[in-house]
Each structure stands twice: as structure tokens, then as C-alpha cells.
Chain A
Amino acid sequence: MPRTDVLRRLRELLLAKEPQGALLEAAFETATMYRRGPARRRCEAANLAGNFLSARGGEIPTEHLAAAGILLAMDGERAQLKPPDVLVRLVQTLALSMRVRPAGTRVGPGDQDALRWAFETLRQMLRGSLIRRAQQDLFKTSSPPSFPGTEMCQIIYAEALFDRVTEPRWPSSANARQCIEAVEDLYRSYLKGEGPDSAANATAL
């Protein structure tokens, strides 16, 4: 099918209220065709999905979210424009779709691979996005660059944030909360002039 037809069909299916599996199948087909193809084609498909998510905002059906996640994953630059909360929804939906197939969708041999690939791609993107948020939240740009544990702490903090936003049972996850608190304490102590101790604490973490 010519690529203009592929994109037109995807657009129509994204706008359909109940595509009954046809949208997800079309996303799989597109991913199979374009994933290792020319960058321009991947950008077009990802942009279509990215703009759809922006225009729709709030409530989006599971099939639409899963399809949009698969398409968006094909272009990292486009996906990076998405705020972390949108990436979280996509990652969660793709994780769910790997376990429970939306009604009406047939499963092709490469579909599970495409789902897993999109999930991992967006998951890594979310992690990067959360590290940037951690840099803003915990280590403002005015913070001392000499802080010895900075990079490690940012990663620890981001991982904890990642657990919090992707794990529905996070409130009971004492480890993640302790981890965030420990990093915050470490940073506060560093700011009070306990730099060398901070380094030791960072290693201990």
C-alpha cells in the first residue's frame, strides 16, 4: 500500500470511535513496514500519533493509546516532546496490551515483538525524561556542580520516580520512598557544608 494511503488509513482509524482492533493492527503493520525503513516515513507516522494525542488530551480508549504508543516510538525526537505523564500512560497501556489484547485484534507473528520494542523504547524515554525532572526538582541548575553524588543520585531518584509513576502499588513500596528521602537528605546535608560525608553517603546508597 502506498505510504500516503497508509497514513490516511491510520488517521481515519485514529479518529474512529470504535476501531475494534483494526487500528492496532494497522499500527502493527506500519511498525513492521517502517520500523527499519527511511527516517522520514517513521517521522510521519510518529507525528500523526503525537499530534493525535495532543489534540485528544484526556480520555483516550486503550486501543488508540496502544496504537499511538507503537507509532510514536518510531521517532524518538517526536516522542521526546511528550510530557512524562503522557509517556507514563503510553508505557502503562503498552504493558497492559502485552498481557491483554484489545478486543477484536488478531495477533500476527511479529506483533508481540513490535509491542515489546515500543514498550522498551518509550520506557527508556520516560526514564530520561524523569532524570531531567529529577535534575529540576532536586538539583536545580544553580546547585553546586561539585556535588559528588549528583549524577548517581539523579539516576537513583529518577528510578524511584519511575517506580512511583509506573507501579500502581507504589504507595506501599517503602523502598522507593526511602530511596527518594535518602537522596533528598543527602543533598540537603551537602548543601549544609557536609560535602565529604555526602560523598560517603552517596557511595553507601
Chain B
Amino acid sequence: MNNEESAKMDPAPIGDATGPAADKRTTLLFVEDSPSHLADILQAIDRFEPTWSYEVVGDALTAFRWLTVNVPSIIVIDVMLPAVPGVPALAEGAYLAAMIRAKREVAPTWRGHVREDSRGVPIVFLTARGAANLHEQLNEIGLPGAAIADADQDPSEWSAEACVSGVIAEKSSAVSTGVAFLKKVLRPLVPKARSVGHHA
């Protein structure tokens, strides 16, 4: 996180967050098998949104199990995850999202059901393979019309799609660095999470 980026933020003093999450709990689920990729984002949350809770899981099955019990405010999924039974390589994250949205059957060897109130939760896809590829893959898997997060756009132009199919953020793009991801992607999605009935 560079100083210029930090200066643009509205830091909430530790323990006294006054941002959008001050009145209700905001819980994020990150599904990422390389936690180091998330370090900047998690540091930004610790610093600027200390009342937010986050959980980090490394594979789709653990995420699925977590979602059978908990309802997060926002889910951030790395598209390339360790194998999901019966799912083509490189599509695991997309398939997990389709299961959450009830657009695909639960993997045959998995048990339980994602809680119904998670179906409309905003989902952000992190990808290193190019947004266009993932967009096409999501179309095929039953999640058409995913938006692509762009640092130069107003988040309101794409954030509505986050609750329907999802929002794609390329790992190499300006929107995916720690503070920018918090400011441009996560913060605008918190009110969306509320509007779909999330109760943390």
C-alpha cells in the first residue's frame, strides 16, 4: 500500500469505525489457495475497516462447508482453486459460485447445502487469466452477464451485477491492489449485501 493511496482513504480510527459497516457486522469470505495474494487486501481491511471480519479458506470444499453454516456479506473467489470433483480444471471457482447461486448441482461427493440466504450475496472473482476468458466461462456455467471491475468507472455501473452473477477483477489490474480493492470493490458492495437481506 503506497502513501498516496493511503492518503486518499478515509481511515476509520481503530475500534471506532464509522464507515458503512459501523452499525452491522460485515463478514467477508475469501477463497484463495495462495494467501500471499491477499496480503495487501487484508492489510487494507485491518487498517481502514477494523470492524469487518474475514475468513480465508484455501479450497472450494472448505468454502462450501463454511457456507453451509455461515452467510457472508461478500464472497471473494480466486478462480483457479484446487480440484473440485468432476469439474474441469481452471473452472473450480466459477463452479463454486454456480453452486452458491444454485445454478449447478452440488459436487457428488459433497454433503449439505449452501444456506439459501447466501444465493444473492455479492461475489467477486479474482483472476489472472483475463477477464474476457472468465466472462465466457461464467456464461457457459449459468452465470451470464458478469461485470468487469474497472478502476476508472464508477462502481455503481457494475456493482449491481455482483449479486446476480458476479464481478470480475483481474489480479494485474489497478482495481485489485490492496487499498483500491477495498475502496473501489468491497466498500461499494457492502450496501448491496444489505439490500439482498444479508444478516451477519
Partner of B56, one of A48, A55, A78, A140: A55
B137 within 8 A of A: no
Partner of B25, one of A7, A8, A51, A77: A77
B139 within 8 A of A: no
- B-side contacts of A11, CB under 8 Å: 14, 46
Q: Are A136's CB and B53's CB within 8 A? A: no
- A-side contacts of B38, CB under 8 Å: 55
- B-side contacts of A77, CB under 8 Å: 25
Closest Cβ of chain B to A141, distance in Å, is: 6
- Of the listed stretches B61-69, B77-85, B94-102, B121-129, chain A binds B61-69
Q: Are A81's CB and B70's CB within 8 A? A: yes
Indicate with 1 or 0, residue by residue over B39-75, a CB within 8 angstroms of chain A CB atoms: 1001001100011111111100010011011100000
Partner of A83, one of B50, B52, B65, B113: B65
Q: Which of A4, A7, A47 has the most CB of B within 10 A?
A: A47
Given A51-B54, A55-B56, A136-B68, A8 contacting B14 (CB threshold 8 A): yes
How many Å lie between the Cα of A50 and that of B45 in the bound state?
13
B111 within 8 A of A: yes
- B-side contacts of A83, CB under 8 Å: 55, 57, 62, 65-66
Q: Are A51's CB and B42's CB within 8 A? A: yes
Q: Are B35's CB and A55's CB within 8 A? A: yes
How many Å lie between the Cα of A7 and that of B46 in the bound state?
12
A177 within 8 A of B: no
How many Å lie between the Cα of A41 and that of B53 in the bound state?
15
Q: Are A54's CB and B113's CB within 8 A? A: no
Partner of B54, one of A54, A80, A133: A54
Closest Cβ of chain B to A171, distance in Å, is: 24
Give 28 pairs: A residue, B residue, CB < 8 Å, sorted on A.
Answer: A3-B15, A4-B15, A7-B14, A7-B50, A11-B46, A44-B15, A44-B51, A50-B53, A51-B46, A51-B53, A54-B54, A54-B55, A54-B56, A55-B35, A55-B39, A55-B56, A57-B58, A81-B27, A81-B66, A81-B70, A82-B55, A83-B57, A83-B62, A83-B66, A132-B68, A133-B65, A136-B65, A136-B111
Partner of B53, one of A47, A57, A132, A141: A47
Q: Which of A48-77 contact B (CB under 8 A)?
A: 48, 50-51, 54-55, 57, 77
A137 within 8 A of B: yes
Closest Cβ of chain B to A39, distance in Å, is: 12
Other than A47-B50, A83-B65, give 7 A-B pairs with Cβ distance below 8 A.
A54-B55, A55-B35, A55-B38, A55-B42, A55-B56, A133-B65, A136-B111
Q: Which of B1-40 contact A (CB under 8 A)?
A: 13-16, 25, 27, 30, 35, 38-39
Q: Which of A91-111 contact B (CB under 8 A)?
A: none
- A-side contacts of B113, CB under 8 Å: 141
How many Å lie between the Cα of A136 and that of B37 in the bound state?
31
**Nearest residue, chain A, Cβ from B29:** A81
B88 within 8 A of A: no
- A-side contacts of B39, CB under 8 Å: 55
Closest Cβ of chain A to B183, distance in Å, is: 19
